[in-house]
Amino acid sequence: MIQVVILGAGNVATHLYKAFQQSENIEVIQVYNHKPERLINFPETSTTTAISKLKEAHIYIFALKDDAILKMANIVPDFGSLYLHTSGGIGLDALSNFRNHGVFYPLQTFSAKREVDFAEIPMCLEANSDKNLQKTKELAAGISEKLFETDSGQRKALHASAVFVCNFTNYLYTIGADICQKHDLSFELLKPLIKETAAKIEELSPEEAQTGPAIRNDRGTIEGHLELLDKNQKNIYELLTASIYNLHGKKL
């Protein structure tokens, strides 16, 4: 049985906790958070708000925001255990205070209100030795079927990619919703399209899947759209249209 202490009580910590609880060979023996109010999300487990009361465990997981990971790395004691963080944004060396350290990055977007199936989540793993990587893999295998070794440079690239395909994409949904609202249209109308756009890339590469007026620089349609956008939306529309035309238009 792998004994784990989780540091943090936000979305990543909560979802990881639930996944560990369902695993047969992982036991979360404690959850730490500096604020007590979020610890009520872990009723079945011992919790603490004091670093001095951390239990000894095989693995400590820093499921915290980037700046909190860096800060906590200076105050958590080194019991000789394995110390992992869950961030896509910072390097392996963020935990180099600890003899045994690594990264345990689940490449997914987590919201408090939505359940996720960890089995499908790519776990991007790295550690400071083969032995520690092996332990990190064992932990990941307890919750996911998709394990990937990625170095800190690759993880940074993945994190940047994730900003495009998740954060920026969600912002484009926000613009779609805004245009609908301004024209007395339900955002429901766009949902099947959003779903299919994402589903398409299971079968087609994004390059193959590209459609729309930008490919052929269809000025009549494009000008018509620009007329009904606000200034910021117009800037985004023009930049992305030019980018798509530069990539695809020349091949027509």
Q: Give the residue with the Cβ less far from its own copies, 96 or 246.
A: 246
Mark out the alpha helices in the chain (DSSP H runs). 11-21, 66-72, 130-141, 152-162, 169-182, 191-200, 206-209, 219-227, 231-248
Q: Give the residue with the Cβ less far from its own copies, 133 or 194.
A: 194
* Beta carbon of residue 250, minimum distance to its own copies (angstroms, whole number): 14
Nearest CA-CA partner of 217 in 198, 233, 240, 201:
240
* Beta carbon of residue 61, minimum distance to its own copies (angstroms, whole number): 20
**Do the strands 123-127 and 100-106 form a parallel or antiparallel pair, or are they unpaired?**
antiparallel
Nearest CA-CA partner of 108 in 38, 159, 172, 173:
159
* Beta carbon of residue 154, minimum distance to its own copies (angstroms, whole number): 5
Q: Give the residue with the Cβ less far from its own copies, 2 or 68.
A: 68
Q: Give the residue with the Cβ less far from its own copies, 36 or 212.
A: 212
What angle, 0 to 180 degrees and rounded to 10, lies between the N-to-C axes of helices 231-248 and 169-182?
130
Distance between CA atoms of residues 74 and 26, nearest Å:
26
* Beta carbon of residue 54, minimum distance to its own copies (angstroms, whole number): 27
* Beta carbon of residue 80, minimum distance to its own copies (angstroms, whole number): 30
Which residues, 6+ apart, have CB-to-CB distance to 218 below 8 Å? none
Would you call 62 helix, strand, or coil by DSSP?
strand
Query: And the tokens for 49?
Result: 């708000």
Would you call 54 helix, strand, or coil by DSSP?
coil
* Beta carbon of residue 111, minimum distance to its own copies (angstroms, whole number): 6
Q: Give the residue with the Cβ less far from its own copies, 93 or 120.
A: 120
Q: Give the residue with the Cβ less far from its own copies, 46 or 197.
A: 197
